[in-house]
Amino acid sequence: MLHARREEWPDADAFLEAAYERGWTDGLPVVPATPERVEAFLATSGLAPDTVLGVVPTREVTVTAEHAAINSVMAGCRPEYFPVVVAAVRAHLDEHGNCHSTTGTLSGAAHAVIVNGPIRDELDIAYGAGCLGPGFRANATIGRALRLVIRNVCRAVPGFLDRATFSWPLRYSFCFGEDEAAGDWTPLHVQRGYAPDQSTVTVHSIMRMVSAWDSSSRDPEGVLDTLVAETRYHGIAGDAFLGDGVNVVYVMGREHQRFFFDAGWSKERMQAYLWPRLTAATAGFHDRRVNLGHPENILIVAAGGAGMAETWVLFPHLAWAVTRVVERPGDVPSETAR
């Protein structure tokens, strides 16, 4: 049985105007969360409405599956996207996802939702050309659903518990997949202990996102040295609460990937090359240490299309990158699953 308060409006226009007046939207139109739609979304996950997906103790907030389903409908998701949203909400509300800080911060941190596994192709989650931008329903609405949960349920409303000085366009939505077939690299979720046939979501809170553009290098070391320089220009500070679990994410495009595929470099070899160079002592104002506890804290994701020789660097904001499995009724647990 659904628990949320329900209300009747004379038509869709009246509902939309009320949604704006009550602050239920991110500024864009929303789809009415009718009880029938919400029930259909919940059915794809097999979750009862009152299943708790996580809590924000500092805000006295509990996020249920029903809350997540209502906001997923409003974001424009299809019902089959909902298990991905559930995994994203669970990842974000993990203690080390640090919801209160990453959604209340003056810096306006955003959240990248990175999808791995077979569900990417089942749902048409884009991971090729243009995948970080608009034009893909699954990417746009799954990322937006997480943001509406953060706004409507976790109360990160600008001027209230969202204290961002500027905020960020990425706070509308930011979701993409990994191009797992680009080469023979181990996919992100497999590196993090999941089976190749499992689908997962990794949520990474982002302080800043910088393009490491390098069209001159012609070998792996040259590209990685560019990534090191770009990352160390900003650095990543240590944090007592987060300990050695902080991550940096490199979203590597095809024009950089090919040097590693041609030379037979694995992600593990790249991590081993990067880690000592990133964590070396600060040498000056624009050469700052990157505080990463272990080589595997460097997350490398293949994505994007051809043409531009760049890799995007996703710097963390006071959170770990947290990975959660996408669970659907009827899915057979993988024997190699963690």
Residues in the site for another protein, rule: CB under 8 A?
2, 4-12, 14-15, 22-24, 32-35, 38, 60-63, 66-67, 70-71, 74, 98, 101, 106, 148, 152-155, 157, 160, 163, 239-242, 318
* Smaller CB separation from another protein, 207 or 301: 207
Q: How far is the CB of 223 from another protein (least distance, A)?
A: 33
* Smaller CB separation from another protein, 22 or 264: 22
Name the burial class of residue 80, with classes exposed (0-12), middle (13-18) and buried (19+) by CB atoms within 10 angstroms of its CB. middle
Q: How far is the CB of 71 from another protein (least distance, A)?
A: 5
Q: How far is the CB of 74 from another protein (least distance, A)?
A: 6
> What is the pairing mode between strands 200-213 and 110-116?
antiparallel
Q: How far is the CB of 250 from another protein (least distance, A)?
A: 24
* Smaller CB separation from another protein, 70 or 309: 70
Cβ(310)–Cβ(253) below 8 Å: yes
Cβ(247)–Cβ(292) below 8 Å: yes
Please write down the long-range contacts of 162-170, taking CB distance under 8 Å and 24 or more positions apart. Answer: 162/103, 162/104, 163/104, 163/105, 163/106, 164/105, 164/106, 164/107, 164/108, 165/106, 165/107, 165/108, 166/108, 167/108, 168/108, 168/109, 168/110, 170/110, 170/112, 170/206, 170/209
Q: How far is the CB of 49 from another protein (least distance, A)?
A: 10
* Smaller CB separation from another protein, 58 or 215: 58
Q: Choose among 239, 238, 231: nearest CA to 208.
A: 231
Helices (H), 59-151: 65-75, 82-92, 99-104, 119-122, 137-148
Q: How far is the CB of 53 from another protein (least distance, A)?
A: 12
Helix or strand run (H / E) with residue 211: strand 200-213
* Smaller CB separation from another protein, 44 or 102: 102
Q: How far is the CB of 191 from another protein (least distance, A)?
A: 26
* Phi, psi of 9, rounded to the nearest 5 degrees: -125, 155
* Smaller CB separation from another protein, 70 or 251: 70
* Smaller CB separation from another protein, 155 or 289: 155
